[in-house]
Each structure stands twice: as C-alpha cells, then as structure tokens.
Amino acid sequence: MGLSEKDHILIEKHLAGQLTETEQRQFLQRKEDAEFSSELQFQQDLKIASRSQERDELRRLMRETDAYSRPSTRSFASNKYRRILAWSAAAILLLISVFVFLLPVLPGSESGFYSVYYEPYPNTVSPLTKGGEGLPDGFQLYELGRYEEAIRALSDLPVTTTNQFYLGLSYLGDDQMIPAIAAMQGITDRQSEYFIPAQWYLALAHLKEGELDTATRLLEGINQTDHALSAKAAELLEDLQ
C-alpha cells in the first residue's frame, strides 16, 4: 500500500543518525516490512553512490586548486580568473552536497574528506532492541545520536578501552575533535578489537583539524594491517594525494 511520509522521515533521520529513542524503536519495527526495508536499502545505496561521486569531485578540485596555487608565468589577471573559476566550482559542489546529504563539506580541502568518510561505528556493547524498556545507557545514547548525554554517561564509567572508544565516538558525533582525539589516543592495547577502529577515527579527527601529516601517518599504519579498514585507509590515502 506504499510508504507513508512518516516512513520516509524515519529513513532520512536514520541515515542522518538523528533518530530519537522512540523513533529508533519505531524504525526497528518498520524494518520488518519488506517495502520499508527495500526503500531503506535503496536510499543507503544512493547515499554510497553519491558519496563516491562527491569524493571524486573533491579529489579533482584539490588537484585543480593545487595547480592554480603554484607559481606560474601566466599573467596575474589570467591566474586570478582561473582561481575564481576553481573556487566557483567548489562553491557549487558545496551547495549540491548540502542539498543531497545535509552535510557540511568543504571541497578543495583535506578536511572535506572527513564528511565523506565518516560513518558512526555501531553500538556492539548494548544495542537497542525492539520493545526494550528502561532508560538508555551511555552506549545506547550514542546509538541514538544523543551525543551530549552519551558523553556525560560514558564519562562516569571506569576508564576501559571499550568505554574510552565509545566516549571518543560520542565526542566525534558532537563535533568535538580535541577531546575525541584525546580519548582515542588513550586506546593503546594493540590486541583490542577497538585499536584499529580507534586509529581510523583518530585519523579522521586529525583530518578534520587539518593535520594532514598526522592523519596520513595513521592511515598508512592501518593500511599495513589485514584489518577490514585497511581498504578504506588505502582509498583515503589515494584521495589525499
């Protein structure tokens, strides 16, 4: 009988990581519907394809901007005109990105790739379940996108690798890069399942801060492992060249 407007809103908010606790439970219930699941998969595939195209545009614009910033024998007027064209193209891409994803991406700069590559890590500690009762814990608050509350709850827990990892993720979700970096740097146990993911998010945070050398070093370290994130690290390294 078709999806309702509410169904489309649930899907959009899920993809943006903005579901409330009540909406999260509604979303889990609706996922059992075949038509809803089909539309969800379509929107996820569309988002991946659009991000791939956006990544290609970012890479191209970075190369063009770099080329125009180098010393040249061209006249000042010619260089100025070309720079205007390059940045005009960047501005157009930015508007398209906001319209498609409602995400702020800055083309022509390394930090723009943060928005392209960042995806929330799943809550594997105490994930929300359909029909669950009681107040959500810090991990569930993170899953719900209620990052400020998650930060407060997780900060009160003992300092463990797991708690620090999700605390760092909550800071990232709240766009607080400095404390996120501090939390992720505290994860030093190389045998932990969270070590490589922490290195990945740490690299993204440094990239968002414009610290390309540090981000590159972290990505190169990930790329030398057999972790699932190795392929993403290699792809991002190629984009940053």
Looking at per-residue confidence, does 218 or 3 come out higher? 218
Q: For the chain, how many residues are written?
A: 241
- What the block records as the tokens of 195 is 């070590």
Residue 139 has pLDDT above 60, yes or no: yes
pLDDT band with cut points at 50, 70 and 90 for residue 8: confident
Question: What is the pLDDT confidence band of residue 100, given thresholds at 50, 70 and 90?
Answer: very low
Least confident range from 52-56, 65-69, 96-100, 194-198: namely 96-100
**Confidence at residue 97, expressed as pLDDT on a 0 to 100 scale:** 56
117-240: CATH number = 1.25.40.10
Instruction: Give how far Cα 115 sits from Cα of 120, 172, 202, Å.
Output: 11, 11, 14
* Single-letter amino acid, residue 101: F
d(CA 42, CA 50): 12
- CA 130/CA 94 separation, integer angstroms: 38
Hey, where are the domains in the chain? 5-109, 117-240
pLDDT tens, residue by residue, 158-208: 999 999 999 999 999 999 999 999 999 999 999 999 999 999 999 999 999
How far is the C-alpha of 99 from the C-alpha of 118, rounded, in Å? 18
- pLDDT category, 237, cuts 50, 70, 90? very high
pTM: predicted TM-score of the whole model, two decimal places: 0.60
Is 47's pLDDT higher than 50?
yes
Please, what is the average pLDDT of the chain?
Answer: 81
Residue 226 or residue 82, greater confidence: 226
pLDDT band (50, 70, 90) for residue 101? very low
